Structure 1
């Protein structure tokens, strides 16, 4: 019962966050991410039974028609570098949570927030939260401009 309430609460928080400044409310990206909020963390996980961070990003991007490797370090090698000030929804954001380089990845969702599979499960966190701000390594844009427009426009939700 507690887990269900937590998932419902997380969904409500996500809904409010997206309504209050998301770059892609009602988009395909929003839809894919919101369906996954609250799913448990599972090291090596790549399905809705449980995700690790790169399994989560690979799953989301597969739903958007793109293939990513199941490794945050490998994902960090893809696409183009993006300055923090230039982030747009769908960019991958990377962190050093292990002390040994790239070890965590999430999907930027707008309004200085990112979706990721954390130890507490799939959630939305702020880039300015003390833990993540101190460990931020950079971002990569892996979507083409055409793909970005398709998955972040309001009409994309009905695709």
Structure 2
């Protein structure tokens, strides 16, 4: 597999959000938990792909990655993408379908998220989690809601 240099997500978000007068901690501390590396970002069509290492502390008693940690990795991909492609927003609904376990011998998994629809203040994202050989492991859909910043003043 070809080694892809990681993209600095914090710099990408800082550059994109620099004019937003809103208190943000970039990168958010939760990204440290998953140790993801951005491997691709495409403003058009609105995709972000992050690779996550499989860490021992993320394993469940069966020796596979805990479902909640997979959900965290997905949220850590869709969340930054949502910040790059839309005004401030938050997750209203996140649904996952687990297809195969993520196990340590895989070494890493990737999450590729895409904005698939925008209707007024509602955003719809889809994400696919794949293993190192490209096998689909998990599929997710998220609904986000754009924040009315004027109502926060």
| TM-score (ref. length: structure 2) | 0.29
Which is helix-richer, 1 or 2? 1
From the two aligned structures, give the one with the greater strand fraction. Answer: 2
Larger radius of gyration: 2
TM-score by length of 1: 0.28
